[in-house]
Each structure stands twice: as structure tokens, then as C-alpha cells.
Structure 1
Amino acid sequence: MAEPGRRGRAPWWWGGGAVLALAAGGIAIGTANATVYSPEAQVQDYLDALAAGEGGTAMSLASSGAEAGLPAGTATSLLQGEALQTGMAALGELTVTRGADAPDGRSTEVSVGYAVDGRQHSTTFSVEKAGRDWLFFDRWRMAAVPVQTVQVDPVNLPTEAASGPVTAAVNGVQAPLASAESPGGTDGDGGTDGDDGGGARTGQGFAVLPPLVVDATFESTYLAADPARLVVEQAVPAEPAEPAVLELAMQYTDAVSGEVNRQLESYLTGCTEQKVLQPAGCPMGYDTVNRIPPDTIEWSVTGDLQATVVPLPAEGEDATVVDPVEAHADLTLQEIDLVTGERLPVEHRDPFTLEADLDVTAETVTLTPRVP
């Protein structure tokens, strides 16, 4: 028992325990500020939301507004779901690192690194200090990351194709591209945006949040485009903000040439089947004053009867062009002399050059021969 009048002394290890508790608490606070409450954690939460296809959550974390500053008609399909997840997956493994702090210590940079097609990319975010929680833990928030626009443009698109629906696959999701008559699809003069006389150029804007890979492809029966890719890596676009353009270069499929020549063969067959001297709508004919028994008239066409379709883009005002076909029509018949009544066999050769107009849409081909 303690002696009367003397205060008891705490065991020595109490003081040591208090020191250790304070030290451990300091380490725990420092660890939490470096991990859970770090600037990198805020960016990681944003990236996780994008990877999960939760664009709304990502926009909340980045103080973004889906409608702010975006042109009317901008599609939001790349801000959510499968299309967003696909674009994030194409970035591969992400590394998140803290960069330089601002001189006043109120903000810092966080860099996200990734590789696309073997090329290194990075996106830098600004993260701002927003106070403390529970007196000890730093609170951070991402500076605003504006929603940006990627314009998917089909170029070399024939005018007749632009007047109908054109649907591309954007990040694996079918997305209609605006037609020439759609809002935003024409310029102020009533022409088509970007039209240089070699075909229509229309497109569709897609809202995106960085970082993201945007892949686009187009394939139909008669028109197709090789896959095109764009990496959206800038967290703050240049001012004034301009859409990033992803071009889909349209080309004919092999089916176009086959269909053109099928129609050409059908057209010429229709000409040769007519038992007349001037087949209607055809490039051949024969004149005589003698009488001709119709059953003796036999037309045939020989020569190089394969039409050559000029690849897109063709030069000049018409984007869809087929080269002239050089051939000749052979005619056999019998003429009856009006005076003597003599029946005379005739063989006639009529060389001709057949020109034709060509219209190509995603699902149709129309060959229209030009004849007097």
C-alpha cells in the first residue's frame, strides 16, 4: 500500500504505452491520408466508375455535366453501359501516380498512364484539397472534367447513301449516324458538312469522358469502312472546345462490282431480245428502207462487257462512277427489196460506247445506262 500522504505513481509502462498509441495513431492517419484519403484515390474511384460503365457516378466525381457545352443531338451512348466499358477495357492496365503539388498546397496533379496499340498515353487530372474530415483526414475532390465530343464522320459517303440511315458500330454498340437531312447534318448553306463535291459527309457526335478509346466500324452489303480508333486522353480540351473527329473512310464492298455487272448483263440481254431495228432504251440501231421480217432479226452484243467501278472517292462532282463500256452490237437479218422482192441476208456491226449513272447506298446498287 502507498504511504499516507503520497500519491500513487502510474507504472512506467503506462507512459510508454501512451507514446506508442500516439505514434501508432499518427502512422494510421498518415497511412489513411496516403491511401483512402489521397488524391490518387479520388481519381481511382472515377476510373473504377468508368470501367463499371457507370458514367453518371463518374460525372458526379468529376463535377461534369452531360449537357453542358455539348451540341444539340450529341449521343450519350459512350457515357454508360457496354460501350463505355469496352472503351475503358481497350486502355489496358492503368497506372495512377501523384504528380506535382501546387505551390500553395491546395491542389495536386494525378497522372493516369496506359498503353494503346503499343503506344504510351497519359491523362492528367487536377485534384483539389477540400478540407478535413474528423480533424485529421484530408478531403480531396477532382477538379471539373468537362464532357467532350467525339464526332464520328463517314467520309466518301455517296450522296444517295447519306439520305438514308447509316448505322455504325461504335465501341461495339450499333449507333445511327445523322443523315444529310438530320439536324446538325447540314451546313448553314444547306449543303452537307465537309462536302467537297466528291460525296456526302455526315456524322454523329458522341459525348465522352477521358480517358477512353473510341472504336468505330461500318459494314453493309455495298459499303464498308475499315476499323478506326481514337484515344481521348486530354482531361481538359483546348479552347475553344472542338470535337475530336474520327473518320470512317467508306469504300465499296466486292459485291458492288458483281451487282453492277449483273445489272449490265440484264440490261444488254433485254436489248438483244427485242426483235426490232431500234431496240427501245438501247445503244444500238439499224436503218433501212427495205422491208424486214421481224422473225429474222437477231441481235447480239460482243466485246469487253465487264464494267469497271471507280473506287471511292472518285474525282469530280459525282462520287459514284462506272467507266464507259466499249462494245459492239452485231445484227443479222433479211431484207426484202421493195422493188424486186428479193430477199437479201444482212450482217451489220454497230460499235457503241455505253455510259451509265451509278447510285450506291448501304443496301442498294442502281445502274442507269445513258442512252439518247
Structure 2
Amino acid sequence: MSPPQPSDSTPAGRRPRLARDLVVLGIVGVLLAGAVWAGVAVIGKQFYSASAFVERYLSLISEGRASEALAIPGVAVDSTELDAAGLPPYASDALLRRAAMAALSDVSIVSEVEVPDATRVTVAYRAGTYEGTTVFDVVRAGQIGLAPTWRFGTSPLAVMDLVVKGSMTFEVNGFEVDKRQVSPDGVDADPLAPVAMLVFSPGIYSVAVDTAISATPGVAVVSDSPFTEIPVEVQAHATDEFVAVVQDRVEEFLTACATQQVLQPTSCPFGYYVQDRIASLPTWSIVQQPAVTLQPEGAGWVIPPTDAVAHIEVDIRSIFDGSVDAVSDDVPFIVTATIAIAPDGTATIAVGGPDTR
């Protein structure tokens, strides 16, 4: 008997079943590939997109992590870049620190769109009570494996150009700054010249003066436009305590003037003019002291022209007939003064007036 020969026929129903299985496997493969691709896209958007790059920067500045924020590619700038952008090349970095920063809240990505040579990311946020939006341009810096890397095409820093009148020192978000420390002129800094300081954008900065001599409520400054200049002017006013001290010193000065028994007390803002001769030594008193007010001027202060009244008692002998008249007159006069503030905070008061010699 010959051995059995293999059949070249397939059992009924096997071919359709195999085809169906292959179709199912193909569909599963496509679905798995789609799921993997979708997962990669989600991960890429969450961790490696331009928006994720910007969110990382915003998270750092909101948490006050200034040094880490400055280390993000495209944030830090040098004087050459500032000058090329028309910004003060000598801008100080004194405010690029945790102590001078305020937190952001409600940060969210509004949009991410491709523009020529960059990806434009718009974010919304709350800075204090201010609700704002800021636009960042970021560019591809390379990639690590399949993941792209980014850098800011335009630095998110801005420059606050701050003029503080009435004080050489001020506070920004509670951080104390002396103009002479941040000005390129150092100790020779012009008290009225603006000081340029780099700030993070977006950010909110409260500028205030709070010294024994002068004070002002905080002025809120919002930095919401990268690489722009923000002009700010703050006018400090003399404190009540300082005005009271100056009032006392002026009164002491005028009272001392009144002890001089002459018609024209030396270096004093009042005097009495006669064409005859005096028959007794004049006696002076101050019957109305000036009501001192202070106005800022440069690094110091001035007392604007202020009314006061002295009183003189003196006997006058006539050069015509020798008769003597007892004179008792009020003598109105004007007081002015300049108050210079030394670097150590001490004040020097120089009282003057129309009759001061």
C-alpha cells in the first residue's frame, strides 16, 4: 500500500476565518499606532511644546525663582542687546531677584500660533488685581532625541525707567534700593535722573518710599510687554515728623536771630531800616513763626517763601531836632530755606530770606 498523500485542499471555512483574523489584527495595529502617536503628541504638547516652554518660565517667576528663570535660554541679556533694542545699556539687574518679585496667579495659555521665524505664545494671568495678557515669541533651539528645545526669540525682560523725587532711596515690592547703588554714576547720581532697572515680564512691582524723611503710598507698575521701556515717576512727600523737626529748627534759628540787639541781625531774614540814630539797643522778638511746608528739590528739600512776623522795640533819636521816639513795630518778613540731605541721612538746614546777608 502506498503512503497517504497530503491534501492540497483547505477545510471548509478556514480561509474566511484567517482573512477575518488578519483584518482584525490590521485594525488593531492601526488603532495601536494611532494611540501611540496621539500619546506622543499629547506628551509633546504637555512637556516639549513652545507653550510648555513658556509655562515653565512663568512658573519659575511666579514662584520667585529668579536665578532659574534667568537661566532659561533667551531670558538673560547683555548691554549690547539692550543698546541694539534702544533700551538703556546700563540697566541694573538689582530687581532680578526673589526679594523684588511678586507672584502671578491664574496663568493659562490663550493661544499658540506659527508666525514667520517664530512660534507666538499668548498667555493670560493675574498680577495682583491686574488681569493681563502677554505675548512671547519663541524659536526652536534644537532638539534632544525626538523632543524639540526652545529659546525666547525676544527676551521677556523689560526695563523700568524710574524717577523718584524727594528721596534717594525707595522700595520695590518691599526690597530697598538706593539710587547711588543702581545708577552708573554711583555716588554722583543725579537725584532727579531716571534709574533704569531690568524687571521680569509679566510682573507687578509696587514702588514706594518709606523713610523718616519722606514717604509715598505704593505705585503699582505692571510689566506686561517683553523688551520694552516702562517710564515711572514717583513723588515722595515729607513726613509729618520731618516737617515738625524742620519747624523746630527754623523757630530756634529765628529766636536766636532775635537775640541780636542790632537793627539788622546778621544772616537773618529780617531787619529794620531807619534814617535817624538809635537811642537804645533794639530788642527783637518773633511774634509769628512761619508755618513750615516742604517741597522736594533735587536730592534735598526747600521751604518755599513763607510769611513770618518779628517785633522790634527801639528808641529813635531824630537827627533834625534831637527828639526821641519810642518805636514798637511789627516787622513782616519772608522765610525760605534749603535742606540738604547727606548720604548718611542727616539733614542740614540753611534758613534764608530777602533780607539775609
- TM-score if structure 2 supplies the norm length? 0.72
1:109 to 113, 120, 124: 120
Q: Which residue of 2 aligns with 1:260?
A: 246
In 1, the alpha carbon distance for the partners of 2:227 and 2:332 equals 63
Q: Which amino acid aligns with 1:153?
A: V
Counterparts in 2 of 1:62-73, with a 5 A limit?
62-68=73-79, 69-70=81-82, 71=88, 73=90
Q: Which residue of 1 aligns with 2:41?
A: 30
The answer as to 2:223 corresponding to 1:223 is no
In 2, the alpha carbon distance for the partners of 1:321 and 1:128 equals 57
Q: Deviations over 1:90-143 (max 9, x none)?
A: x3321123333348xx74321111234644321111233566655xx5524133
Counterparts in 2 of 1:72-151, with a 5 A limit?
73-84=90-101, 86=102, 89=103, 91-102=104-115, 107-116=118-127, 118-129=129-140, 134=145, 137-146=146-155, 147-151=157-161
Structure 2 residues without counterparts, runs of 5 or longer: 1-5, 9-13, 83-87
Tell me: CA distance 1:99–1:286, structure 2 relative to 1, closer, same or farther (3 Å): closer
Q: Which amino acid aligns with 1:299?
A: W
SS in 1 for 2:133: strand
Tell me: CA distance 1:274–1:40, structure 2 relative to 1, closer, same or farther (3 Å): same
| 8 A contact 2:203–2:222 mirrored in 1 | yes
Tell me: CA distance 1:184–1:262, structure 2 relative to 1, closer, same or farther (3 Å): closer
Counterparts in 2 of 1:180-329, with a 5 A limit?
183=185, 201-237=192-228, 243-274=229-260, 279-282=265-268, 283-285=270-272, 292=280, 298-302=283-287, 304-309=288-293, 311-312=295-296, 320-329=302-311
Q: Which residue of 1 aligns with 2:3?
A: none
Higher strand share: 2
| 8 A contact 1:222–1:364 mirrored in 2 | no
Tell me: CA distance 1:5–1:19, structure 2 relative to 1, closer, same or farther (3 Å): farther
SS in 2 for 1:307: coil
In 2, the alpha carbon distance for the partners of 1:75 and 1:49 equals 21
Q: Deviations over 1:287-329 (max 9, x none)?
A: 775764x7xx753232x32334264579xxx972422324131
Deviation at 1:178, TM superposition (A): 3.5
Tell me: CA distance 1:353–1:210, structure 2 relative to 1, closer, same or farther (3 Å): same
Q: Which amino acid aligns with 1:154?
A: V
Bigger RCO of structures 1 and 2 (CA < 8 A, at least 6 apart): 1
Tell me: CA distance 1:180–1:215, structure 2 relative to 1, closer, same or farther (3 Å): closer
SS in 1 for 2:106: coil
Note the aligned Cα RMSD (angstroms): 4.2
Q: Which residue of 1 aligns with 2:11?
A: none
Deviation at 1:284, TM superposition (A): 3.5
Deviation at 1:43, TM superposition (A): 0.7
Tell me: CA distance 1:209–1:264, structure 2 relative to 1, closer, same or farther (3 Å): closer
Deviation at 1:62, TM superposition (A): 3.8
Tell me: CA distance 1:78–1:351, structure 2 relative to 1, closer, same or farther (3 Å): closer
Q: Which residue of 2 aligns with 1:196?
A: none
Q: Deviations over 1:56-96 (max 9, x none)?
A: 43344342333243445422122232223x2xx1x332112
In 2, the alpha carbon distance for the partners of 1:32 and 1:95 equals 18
Tell me: CA distance 1:224–1:22, structure 2 relative to 1, closer, same or farther (3 Å): same
Deviation at 1:172, TM superposition (A): 1.8
Q: Deviations over 1:147-190 (max 9, x none)?
A: 432122113x4xxx7xxxx2211222111113999628999xxx
Tell me: CA distance 1:206–1:132, structure 2 relative to 1, closer, same or farther (3 Å): closer
| 8 A contact 2:159–2:227 mirrored in 1 | no
| 8 A contact 1:180–1:202 mirrored in 2 | no
In 2, the alpha carbon distance for the partners of 1:271 and 1:102 equals 76
SS in 2 for 1:359: strand
- TM-score if structure 1 supplies the norm length? 0.70
In 2, the alpha carbon distance for the partners of 1:80 and 1:307 equals 44
SS in 2 for 1:309: coil
Q: Which amino acid aligns with 2:271?
A: M
In 2, the alpha carbon distance for the partners of 1:213 and 1:180 equals 20
Q: Deviations over 1:258-278 (max 9, x none)?
A: 233212321232133345565
Q: Which residue of 2 aligns with 1:356?
A: 336
In 2, the alpha carbon distance for the partners of 1:77 and 1:181 equals 11
Q: How many residue pairs are counted as aligned between the two chains? A: 324
| 8 A contact 2:110–2:122 mirrored in 1 | yes
In 1, the alpha carbon distance for the partners of 2:194 and 2:96 equals 18
| 8 A contact 2:279–2:314 mirrored in 1 | no
SS in 2 for 1:368: strand
| 8 A contact 2:50–2:150 mirrored in 1 | yes
SS in 2 for 1:230: strand
| 8 A contact 1:154–1:203 mirrored in 2 | yes
Structure 1 residues without counterparts, runs of 5 or longer: 193-199, 238-242
